[in-house]
Amino acid sequence: AEIYDTPPALTIVSPEGIHPDNSAFIQVAENSVNVTQVAAEDVPGSTLIYRLQDGEDRDKFLLDENTGTLRFKEVPDWEDPKDADANNNYMLLWQVLNSNGDARSQFLVVQVTDLPE
């Protein structure tokens, strides 16, 4: 049997599609506030807290600190983008903290896509 000296590190596991630069790209159809569920894993028994850390569009989102559910505050409209540079690509940085104060962050680009009107 193998013996591990250190427990598994705090690791971001979702959203999928993590690039080498530790960012993720998500497409969301307009007219829905639901974006994704961010998630991390850590040693058993550790409490994880999710929060919005930074990003020019972070004020457009709500992140449940217990579940990691990420949502728009207002329903996005492809024809009327509200992101900082008005191109329907919303930028934010979210963070997860564990009971020991360790933290990991992930940069997200949430692209709002057009639906036929």
Tell me the average pLDDT across 73-80: 97
List the one residue out of 96, 99, 112 whose CA is nearest residue 38: 96
Nearest to 76 by CA among 29, 22, 117: 29
Write the DSSP string, 34-98: EEEE-EEE-STT---EEEEEE-TTGGGEEE-TTT-EEEESS---TTS--STTSSSEEEEEEEEE-
What values do phi and psi take at 103, rounded to 5? Answer: -140, 150
Task: State the pLDDT confidence band at 70, using cuts at 50, 70 and 90.
Answer: very high
What is the model's pLDDT at position 103?
92
What average pLDDT score do residues 92-110 get?
A: 92
Quote the pLDDT of residue 9: 77
**Mean pLDDT of all residues in 87-100:** 95
- Is residue 76 within 8 Å of 31, Cβ to Cβ? yes
Q: Which pLDDT band, with edges at 50, 70 and 90, does 10 fall under?
A: confident
Tokens of 85: 């540079």
Q: What is the pLDDT of residue 117?
A: 79
